[in-house]
Amino acid sequence: MDNVLILGGYGNFGKRIAAALARSHVPVIIAGRNEQKAQALVDQLRQDYPATSIDKAVFDVERDLVAHLQRLKLAVVVNTCGPFQLKQYDVAQACLRNKIHYVDLADGRDFVTGITALDDEAKAAGVWVISGASTVPGLSSAVLEHYKKDFASMESLRFGISPGQKAERGLATTQGILTYVGKCLKAVPGDTGSRYGWQDIYRQAYPVLGNRWMANCDIPDLDLLPARYGIGRIRFSAGMENVLLHFAIWKLSWAVRLGLPLNLPKYAAFLLRASHWFDRFGSADGGMHMIMRGKDINGKSIERRWFIVALHGDGPQIPCVPAIVLARKLASGALPGAGAAPCVGMVTLQEYLAELKPFAVKTYEDNGH
């Protein structure tokens, strides 16, 4: 079996993907610019999984990727190097030219939806290019696939994510969110007016976690899911466990909306460090909710509520699952076909939850009875 190269392999998501693949005996190469960090993870994984081939490749993705793609014996490249809101398809195209499968964890709305522009090239190369292999749209579409048999029509979907204050979080995710805080978001089905990033706040009740504040976020699901599942109205939000932090970003969103010249992504590193000052006031517990409403085959109104809750800092495992499942299939030749597509309906809910069994993650369902 050829190697899986993980770009950003010692980062927040990369290290978890590497560990999961090594645990299932998929050979991995940890890639990044910091040799010390890469070697530290390689040493740890070799100790934990001595039967698996684990190595490192130290290089700058922006300058030296092509040379390493040609040098290394690769089946798959997993790209965790966000924020994808600011990226082009250079990495994916380099993989295509070298006939290597490509998977990323992008959550940039235009980036993920636009990946189909590479479809003809991917089919000609005989490889997969899969974007958005993360919680959204990987898990969200898996849940919809699971429940769609209950609905003759799905009138609305309200869903969102609220990580725990102490859960590990990365710079790229912070930068990605800050790119659209306070900015007018592209319209979605069911909109009756303009929506702005990190506004329209509301409180969502979760099992175990209690109430969490939520606010508008921009993700590819807002385009992909209505097109795939015929959803009439859709709304996605995210929220911070700490109320002060949540409302601080809300106030910044108003400053941006009112036209103040704030380049928030520029301050992402500082804001991320500052957020950790509040860790003592929060937990490491987070969750995701999906509330689906519509009609059954008899025309009766139905509602399905689905929650996933992660305790003890295991929340960051959830976004990694689609990349793990797909990289494993691609490396072993178990995913037929080829093409470029968003990660919609490509991982089943059963596969997803099976991957999360070792962790403190539990799901809850309410069928509205």
Question: Which H or E run includes 156?
Answer: strand 153-162
Shared-domain flag, residues 111 and 129: yes
Could you give the CA distance from residue 82 to residue 217 in angstroms, rounded to a whole number? 17
- Nearest 5°: phi and psi at 208? 70, -45
Question: Has residue 170 got a pLDDT over 90?
Answer: no
Q: Are residues 118 and 46 in the same domain?
A: yes
Domain boundaries, position 294: 139-314+360-366
Do 123 and 186 lie in one domain? The reply is no
Predicted confidence at residue 308, as pLDDT, reads 98
User: Are the C-beta atoms of 319 and 105 separated by less than 8 Å?
Assistant: yes
Record the tokens describing residue 325, joined without a space.
């499942």
- DSSP per residue over 169-195, as a string? --HHHHHHHHTTBTSBPPP-TT-SS--
Any idea what the CATH number is for the domain that residue 238 is in? 3.30.360.10
Condensed to tens digits (0 to 9), the pLDDT of residues 177-234 reads 999 999 999 999 888 889 999 999 999 999 999 999 999 999 999 999 999 999 999 9
Same domain, 40 and 145: no
pLDDT of 368: 59
**Cα–Cα dist 136/134, whole Å:** 5
Please state the domain count of the chain. 2
| Together in a domain, 153 and 102 | no
213 plus 263 within the same structural domain: yes
User: What rounded mean pLDDT belongs to the chain?
Assistant: 96
The angle at the Cα of 203, spanning 199 to 206, to the nearest 5 degrees, equals 135
